[in-house]
Amino acid sequence: MKLDPTQLLDWQIAEAAEQTMKPLDQVACELGLAYGELIPLGQKLAKIDYTKILDRLKHVRRGKYVDVTAITPTPLGEGKTTTTIGLVQGLGKLGKKVCGTIRQASSGPTFNIKGSAAGGGLSQCIPLTPFSIRLTGDIESITNAHNLAMVALTARMQHERNYDDVRLAKSGLQRLDIDPNRVQIRWAMDFCAQALRNIVIGKGGPMDGFEMESGFQMAVSSEVMAILAVARNLKDFRRRMGKIVVAYDKKGHEVTAADLEVDGAMTAWMIEALNPNLMQTIEGQPMLVHAGPFANIAIGQSSIIADLVGTKLCDYVVTESGFGADIGFEKFWNLKCRMSGLTPSAVVIVATIRALKMHGGGPAVKPGAPLPDAYKRKNLKLVEKGCQNLLAHIDIVKKCGIRPVVCINHFHTDTKEEADLIREIVEAHGASVAVSEHWRKGGDGALELAEKVANACDEIREFQFLYEPEMPLRKKIERIATQIYGADNVKYSPKAHEKATQFEAIPRINSMGICMVKTHLSLSHDPTLKGRPVKWTLPIQDLMVYEGAGFVVPIAGDIKLMPGTASNPAFRRIDVDVETGKVQGLF
């Protein structure tokens, strides 16, 4: 079946490809699963039993591990997931045993403006509808586990208000004396609903709960999701759940999920969700879809469990880190790799001529608005100037000891002269480069990229972290700010300074990794500063701690754990064919 992505929408391509997709037991067999390791969930979906696989293959040497990151994107995104899938397909065309590991889609972006991030064109993960809507229920499990913590917290606050210490003791409880003004989490749901960011709960009488200000956060921003992404197994997951800081008491002491005696029940919701989901590319290569944490408040990566499984089963595993190399790869490098024990064999930086023109001074790119003509015509001057942003991301990756491969994600409006100019600049800066047409041609269009990546995996490298755990907290923040973002220095608000001083005095917190919150639309904290900003200061406004996930979160910009729905959301174009029951309009 020949499909032309220039004539068809992504969902139409996916629907056509699903007519000839491989049976999942065939995908499992080709992946190397043994009997009993596939957990079928209907005809097109399955999970895999990671514990059986890792136990069976514990002495097997790990395969090559490839991360896909990007330059600072336009608001439209530059196709990291599409490139990840295209690279999997390209390596498959070269005869390599390969799989991909990517994040699960959240309903918030899927029904809003970003889409489901299943790839695009002829490089997609299928079947598209279950990938985009519900999948195997992992996010529902996260939502329920998270909300159970809120149920435990609010019920405890009500009982402590209504009961004296004697009555509490009869129930086997000690007074926690929770501060209603220092509750650290909110209720969770998997939609973008700005009207629920700030609410008041407990209205009514004494039996209707504890009245206080509260709100909702998006399910994928939950620390439960962050823990799913970084846990190595159920034992590790269970230990981390008890450390979640739900609130503080009136003396400033932490109140954890373990203090509320809800961590075990929360874990019970998550047992099946720890098993990765098995899907496939349009060309039939296996894809492990698992976890989907925010790329700013959390690490923005698929799960460590999926990566551990993939590197045992395959010669090559291609994964993706959220946002550009300044955010996603930095967290992959210094958080995920440290926690997993895996180190990358190669790193791909995705760049588009469109984004380089924007960084070179091109007009603003806005979601939902027509793309300005400047991005559809040849302009070597804009491309050359914009390459400063690309070079900054190359320098970031080089700091870990790896020479990156730059992938020019080719659009049909790009010219050979523009691509040749980028190739010249990149090679002069000590990186390799490939032009890839995977969106239009699938694996055949990604052969140059696949060959460059396979060669890069065989290069000698000396992987090193940016900082050591024992380094003082603020020194780690400043190292990221100056060496990764290019800031001159860091400035702390009084609140952030006070918290940093407090955290540095607590060894278990001071030794945690750093998970920075800042805009993905600039190397700086200011989304309007394009290219490679110079002579600027990174402002740290606040600090949060995700004790269960194991990182400190410095906040260098406005953060909303509950995004808003735009005026022209995707759900307006999603519908169902009532004759066939098939969903249409997903992207």
In this predicted model, what pLDDT tens digit does every residue of 209-264 receive, in sequence order?
A: 999 999 999 999 999 999 999 999 999 999 999 999 999 999 999 999 999 999 99
Architecture of domain 474-555: Roll (3.10)
- The CA distance from 431 to 486, in Å, is 20
Mean pLDDT, residues 133-160 taken together: 97
Sign, Cα dihedral of 441, 442, 447, 453:
positive
Q: Which residue of the set 187, 323, 329, 503 is catalytic? A: 323
Q: How many other C-beta atoms lie within 10 A of the C-beta of residue 2?
A: 4
C-alpha to C-alpha distances, 175 to 150, 165, 166, 214, nearest whole angstrom: 17, 7, 10, 22
Apex 273 CA angle, 272 and 276, nearest 5: 105
Q: Give the whole-angstrom CA distance, residue 518 versus residue 405.
A: 25
Catalytic residue among 62, 80, 243, 312: 80
- How far is CA 175 from its chain centroid? 38
Identify whether 378 is a catalytic site residue. Answer: no
323 is catalytic: yes
Q: Write out pLDDT tens, residues 398-444.
A: 999 999 999 999 998 999 999 999 999 999 999 999 999 999 999 99
- Rounded to 5 degrees, φ, ψ at 93 are -65, -30
Q: Do the beta carbons of residue 530 and residue 522 sit within 8 Å?
A: yes
What is the DSSP secondary-structure string of 122-191?
TEEEE-HHHHHTTTTSHHHHHHHHHHHHHHHHHHHHHHHHHS-HHHHHHTT-----EEEEEE---EEESS
What Å distances lie between residue 322 and 82, 315, 328, 384, CA to CA? 13, 23, 5, 25
Does residue 11 have an active-site annotation?
no
Region 5-29 average pLDDT: 94
297 pLDDT more than 90: no
Cross-strand pairs, 70: 350
Per-residue confidence (pLDDT) for residue 1, from 0 to 100: 57
pLDDT-based confidence at residue 524 (cuts at 50, 70, 90): very high
Give me 401's structure tokens.
């000891």
Euclidean distance between CA atoms 456 and 90, whole angstroms: 15
Q: Identify the pLDDT of residue 91.
A: 98
Residue in 134, 175, 265, 411 annotated catalytic: 411
Q: What is the pLDDT of residue 441?
A: 97
Q: Which of 474, 349, 343 is CA-nearest to residue 401? A: 343
pLDDT of residue 557: 80
456 is catalytic: no
**pTM for this prediction:** 0.96
Topology classification of domain 138-272: Domain 2, N(10)-formyltetrahydrofolate synthetase (3.30.1510)
Q: How far apart are CA 512 and CA 550, in angstroms?
A: 6
pLDDT value for 583: 93
Reported confidence tier of residue 145, pLDDT bands at 50, 70, 90: very high
Q: Residue 63, SS3?
A: coil
The span from the CA of 227 to the CA of 549, in Å, is 5
| Domain-wise residue ranges, the chain | 11-136+277-457, 138-272, 474-555
The one-letter code for the residue type at 3 is L
Task: Quote the CA–CA distance of 350 and 72 in Å, as a whole number.
Answer: 10
Share of the chain above pLDDT 70, in %: 100
Mean pLDDT, rounded, of the chain: 96
Q: Dihedral, CA atoms, 93, 94, 95, 99, nearest 10 degrees? A: -70
3-state SS class at 435: strand
Is residue 189 within 8 Å of 139, Cβ to Cβ?
Answer: no
Catalytic (active site) residue 439:
yes
Residue from 72, 74, 81, 82 carrying the catalytic annotation: 82
Strands (E) located in 519-586: 537-540, 542-546, 551-555, 575-576, 583-584
Span 524-529, mean pLDDT?
96
Set 11, 210, 329, 439: catalytic member: 439
Rounded mean pLDDT, 181-203:
97
Instruction: Say how far apart CA 83 and CA 434 lie, in whole Å.
Output: 12
Alpha-carbon span 203 to 152, nearest angstrom: 18
Interval 538-583: pLDDT, tens? 999 999 999 999 999 999 987 888 999 998 899 999 999 999 999 9
Q: Which two tokens stand for residue 316?
A: 């090559």
97 noted as active-site residue: no
pLDDT confidence of residue 322: 86
pLDDT interval class at 472 (50, 70, 90) = very high
Query: What mean pLDDT is predicted for residues 16-43?
Result: 96
Residue in 14, 28, 145, 295 annotated catalytic = 295
Is the Cβ–Cβ distance between 36 and 327 less than 8 Å? no
- The per-residue pLDDT for range 330-373, each reduced to its tens digit, is 999 999 999 999 999 999 999 999 999 999 999 999 887 889 99
Q: Which two tokens stand for residue 414?
A: 């790009």
Q: Which long-range contacts (CB under 8 A, 24 or more apart) does 261-265 make?
A: 261/152, 262/148, 262/149, 262/151, 262/152, 263/238, 264/238, 265/148
Determine whether 82 is an active site residue: yes
Q: Give the mean model confidence (pLDDT) for residues 12-40.
A: 96
Fold of 11-136+277-457: Rossmann fold (3.40.50)
Residue type, 147: N
pLDDT in the model for residue 446: 98
Non-local (6+) Cβ contacts of 287 within 8 A are 85, 88, 99, 100, 101, 102, 125, 278, 279, 280, 281
CB 135 within 8 A of CB 160: no
Q: Catalytic residue at 556?
A: no
CA separation for the pair 40, 391 (Å, rounded): 45
Indicate whether 97 pLDDT > 80.
Answer: yes
User: Per the residue annotation, which of 114, 357, 441, 476 is the catalytic one?
Assistant: 114
